[in-house]
Amino acid sequence: MPHLEISDLITVTDPLSGARLPVRRGDVVRLLQESGDPRAARIVAGLPAGRDDVLDPLAVDRLMIGVHTEMQRLSEELRIGERLVHVLGPLFEAIREIAGRRGRFRLVDIGSGLGYLVRWLAATGALGPNVELIGVDLDAALVAEADRLARAEGLDCRFVHGNAFDLPEIATVYVSTGVLHHFRGPALTEFFEAQADSQALAFCHFDIAATRLAPVGAWMFHRARMRHPLGRHDGVVSALRAHTDDTLLRAATVPGIRPLLYEPRGLSNPFCTTLRPVLGIRPYLEDPLRLAMGRASRRLVGAEQLSRPGAAR
């Protein structure tokens, strides 16, 4: 049976126009029941809907903003921002080295939600003054809330409703947190191909590490910190859907890109690992990146290292 996240099913947008599409509550309940997840079906059955059984869009928006707010608090407690900058900092240092330390660069966060990563980077200035920060999401309500928070906090960043690959500006680096496990099958490779075909120099996508402890850890953290049952449910399902190291490296192996994993299984402490990234860089960036990372570059591996006899999986 497939693992389905409720949030994926109750918020649906037209991929071309970005317009929100009506979602019938009964259809979602039936789909979750057929997937063998009666608990998720009960959660959706309790959501408000109109006479036509279409889920109330305003109620869904409020719910999603509430869940994402709780997710941000969890990210703050797990110090996710520092973990990301541990890799993104050297990556931009390598890019500056290649560019002769000139120019202005642009980080685009795909599926930015409430914009925690972008707002945290803007607040700390962790990537330096010449990196423009943009968050992009298909959920208009989350984008509006992210923009409101950024303006209230006086931050130099912005948020866009739409497709991250349709921006008029060229991205230097694409990033995401907790997005990869939403892509299944060919869609995962197509996601990486879109970035390889762009003018971006690199991508760096953080997602849940597919360790044996991940579902247990997700259950503990979300049970303790998330109030709404939807957040608790989707948090655990996210861990169950996390891609393996092999799957990520195979999908990220696209023309023009050198795929690398940071801290794959066996090179990291599973009790401390929550998110870890798969990177795709233009091949000429690998040496400058490893130099910028110093000793930490030993934890940056490609498919050839994972395929060696006895290598960790």
Angle at 181 between CA 176 and CA 187, to 5 degrees: 90
Round to whole Å and give the CA distance between 100 and 227: 49
Global pTM reads 0.90
Closest CA to 26 of 10, 46, 45: 45
Contacts of 214 (CB under 8 A, 6+ apart): 208, 239, 242
What was the pLDDT predicted at 307?
Answer: 64
What was the pLDDT predicted at 61?
Answer: 96
pLDDT along the chain (313 residues), means of 10: 90 85 96 95 96 96 94 86 93 92 89 96 94 96 97 97 93 96 94 96 92 79 82 89 92 95 70 80 96 93 71 48
What was the pLDDT predicted at 119?
Answer: 97
What was the pLDDT predicted at 125?
Answer: 95
What was the pLDDT predicted at 102?
Answer: 74
What was the pLDDT predicted at 312?
Answer: 46
What was the pLDDT predicted at 273?
Answer: 62
Q: Quote the tokens at residue 111.
A: 């599926």
Question: Which residues partner with 175 through β-bridges?
Answer: 109, 204
Contacts of 131 (CB under 8 A, 6+ apart): 92, 104, 105, 106, 107, 121, 172
Q: Quick check: 17 and 138 in contact, CB under 8 A? A: no
Q: Spell out the SS3 assignment of the chain.
A: CCCCCHHHHHCEECCCCCCEECCEHHHHHHHHHHCCCHHHHHHHHCCCECCCCEECHHHHHHHHHHHHHHHHHHHHHCCHHHHHHHHHHHHHHHHHHHCCCCCCEEEEEECCCCCHHHHHHHHHCCCCCCEEEEEEECCHHHHHHHHHHHHHCCCCCEEEECCHHHCCCCCCEEEEECCHHHCCCHHHHHHHHHHHCCCCCEEEEEEECCCCCHHHHHHHHHHHHCCCHHHHHHHHHHHHHCCCHHHHHHHHCCCCCEEEEECCCCCCCCCCCCEEEEEEECHHHHHHHHHHHHHHHHHEECHHHHCCCCCCC
